[in-house]
Structure 1
Amino acid sequence: MPLGPLRPSPLVEQAAQRLRQQIAAGHWPVGGKLPGETTLAKELGVGRSTVREALRALAGAGLVRPRHGAGVFVIATEPAEDWPTRLGRAAVTDVYEVRMGVEVQAARLAAHRRTPEDVSALRAALDGRRAAVAGDDAGFVDADIALHTAVVAAAHNPVLADLFTEFTPVLREGLVTLLSLTGLREHTPDTGDATHTALVRAITAGDPDRAAAVLLGELEETLQLLRGSG
């Protein structure tokens, strides 16, 4: 099946898409070698530099792998799913279980490593959460996540911070849905205020065991609510 020339538009994207279609159709099987850049460029009607960029995109998607001096070989027929995409497809309860491990450890570290600036940020975030009580569920969840973000930031571990940032969109959607389904804030608008206050106090006081215990209890309670609403 000939590749056929491309239309004049984003050529690299078109070339990558056309090659991806050929790989998915089995035209070049896993383990097989792609034609050389010159051959592909001629069949696609583009320059070698366009082909080179398209192959680089396919390599980034986990479909092909260049071998020095040997050429480019197919290693998969479907692109590898990136981490944000996988998280977006995951059940919020699964993400929450991982969040618990990440954030409880962050709370322990925060109690050891907090600076005066961190303490100020935590107190400001706690005030922000209280101020959000009068607003809608989405605003309250945003303020809640801001406080938890401040806890993670106080741990001064960039890997933990990056992980929590990746979780945030899924967590936000799940928590907003939870509040909508349960009507939890209709009866307790400031739900969780006591535990979040205790968390900030424990971190400020430099008590890692207390900080971890308070946060673990709060997250476990929310996880049970999430499971019940699923």
Structure 2
Amino acid sequence: MSKSSPLAFITGASGGIGREVSLRLASHGYNLILHYNRNRKSVEELKAVIEAEYGQSCLIFQADFSFVSKTLNKLTDLDFQPDVLIHNSGMASSKIFQDVSESDLTSQLTIGITTPSLITKMFLPGMISAKSGKIIMITSIWGLTGASCEVPYSMIKGGQNAFVKALAKEVARSGIQVNAIAPGAIETEMLAGYSSDDILELKEEIPAGRLGKPSEIAGLVAFLLSKDADYINGQILSVNGAWYC
């Protein structure tokens, strides 16, 4: 990879938001390491587009975040130091809390809290040494308000928001910004299980009268990575069409 271009590591790059963020960063001159768990075809197609249209270098990184040690060992073997770390992995599930098994809850917490925080810990020394770094977590509106039938997801996203606020206070003096974006209802596969009537009802609840677009999340990511946002730190920025504010 070209040393003249900054390097961004994006988790969950095969999803709707991850794809748009990756494309936006490539258009801004970033080399990329694209993480995925299962959807290799999607991330390979994304890699091809980025290299063909933007001329930026891309590496594909597969890891199941439910296996902490394997993930960290794989990252160690790659031997890279990102300038930017975008945490975007994770998936919601709808189930009443009393029906969530102990193993499912433990796995979700590992994927959403333990592994992302340890990945961040791995790359912090390099950022601190460079006196520079940007860390962004894509959380959720449910991490701010909570959602019935999505208790583990809400708990995890709330934990990510708290992680952002706490870590920002530790590393701000080292020139590192840590922020979160908490999307509302966005047009991604996460809403694929909703019927057309459900989507219509959801839109009616949102003052803006529509769902958000992944490109709107990517736009905010790009702004937070710019020099204009260097004084924004420890913030949870919700993009939700005035749904909850």
Bin for the TM-score computed over the shorter chain: under 0.3
**Structure having the larger proportion of residues in strand:** 2
- Structure-2-length-normalised TM-score: 0.22
> Which of the pair has more CA radius of gyration?
1
Higher helix share: 1
